[in-house]
Amino acid sequence: MFNFKVHRKDTSTKARVGRIMVHGIEIETPVFMPVGTYAAVKAVSPRELEELDAEIILSNAYHLYLRPGDKTIRNLGGIHKFTGWKRGFLTDSGGFQIFSLSSLRKISHEGISFSSHIDGSKHLLTPEAIIQIERNIGADIIMPLDICTDVPTEYDHVKEATKITIQWAMRSKVAWEKDQNNSTLFGIIQGNIYRDLREYCTKKITKIEFPGYAIGGLSVGEDKKSMYETIDFTTDHLHEDKPRYLMGVGGAKDILEAVVRGIDMFDSVLPTRNARNGTVFIPGGRLLLRNSENREEERPIEDGCTCYTCKNFSRAYLRHLFKTREILGYRLATIHNLHYLIEFVKKLRASIKSGSVDKFREELEKGLV
């Protein structure tokens, strides 16, 4: 049901191009996964996502458990049928979101108890319960419950959290093996920015054996250097023939720096959230659509861009839509940002294939891509 092949390895970096086959869905890596927390990528339709060449999108088990309920999705035939999105789905467990959003949360070895951020109702989610929830939802790739710590968090606390994460990974795998259905379970590596804990966790998680591995708990407040170093030494301890997913990372530069350190998969709310704030990606940086300099600017967001937005609308019109809070503005900016990032990853793949990653990196630094 799940297969991953590396097709091409860069000679000067750890970058690689590969292909995931999961339940008949083919995903070229490196891949960027747009986020649709509530089973909808904010502001865009499945048809638009297909046109953008999105291959797999990410939803959140915690959120879907609360609304509309994982059993509701199961009763409606699973998340693909529910949403009309026929390509890949990955569900994160939502451990991170329980910590950010819910109140009265409490971790025990058993699981996480918390009050819903929607209606205050009380819940206990165990690793086994999360597997069952994700199975009901029916995504192609699912993530186990884990504990994500902030940076900075003191060593002893991270150590304890890492140990629990490993125990939960083991329990998740046991639960998953009982009935794999159409889901493929990845392992998650935690350990904050403590090198020995990352190494310890990587060894333990890989020993449990999963079809793919995620690096969690990065891009949560640490500096870029720590993030890149952590990615670098973690991928050194990961099997070459398994896909590696860096959770919650999504800027162009961070994606490139992670890919050259051996990462294959990414997700982030960055392109969609930025878009809804009127911030759009262009080579060399960002453009604030609300700025008055765009008042009568006839150019599109990006000259030569082939997205629906840039082919049809001026910055002036987009500024107007944002100033008047028209939904169409959020839509058009989202389309451009997703297009930008998905095309960026395509170009990055091409540069790996042609052995020109270094040149691509230079172009990015010069603001040319």
* Residues of this chain that bind its own copies (CB under 8 A): 38-40, 42-47, 67-68, 72, 75-77, 82-84, 295-296, 298, 308, 312-314, 316-317, 319-321, 323-324, 326-332
Residue 81: alpha-carbon gap to chain centroid: 22
Active-site hit among 140, 254, 264, 267: 267
List the Cα angle 304/308/313 in 5-degree steps.
75
Burial tier of 287 (Cβ tally within 10 Å: 0-12, 13-18, 19+): buried
Least distance (Å) from its own copies to the CB of residue 219? 25
Whole-angstrom distance, CA of residue 361 vs CA of residue 217:
25
Structure-token pair, residue 323: 């100033």
Nearer to its own copies, 5 or 290 (CB): 290
Least distance (Å) from its own copies to the CB of residue 350? 29
Burial tier of 295 (Cβ tally within 10 Å: 0-12, 13-18, 19+): exposed
Residue 86: alpha-carbon gap to chain centroid: 18
Active-site hit among 92, 146, 254, 264: 92
Nearer to its own copies, 262 or 329 (CB): 329
Least distance (Å) from its own copies to the CB of residue 325? 9
Nearer to its own copies, 217 or 300 (CB): 300
Alpha helices in the chain (DSSP H): 46-51, 61-66, 70-75, 79-83, 95-101, 127-137, 155-178, 195-208, 224-236, 252-259, 270-276, 308-312, 315-323, 327-353, 357-365
Q: Please tell me the number of Cα atoms within 13 Å of 43 on its side-chain side.
A: 23
Least distance (Å) from its own copies to the CB of residue 91? 15
Contact 196, 203 (CB under 8 A): no
Nearer to its own copies, 136 or 230 (CB): 136
Least distance (Å) from its own copies to the CB of residue 49? 11
Nearer to its own copies, 72 or 108 (CB): 72
267 is catalytic: yes
Whole-angstrom distance, CA of residue 235 vs CA of residue 218:
14
Q: Catalytic residues, which ones?
A: 92, 267
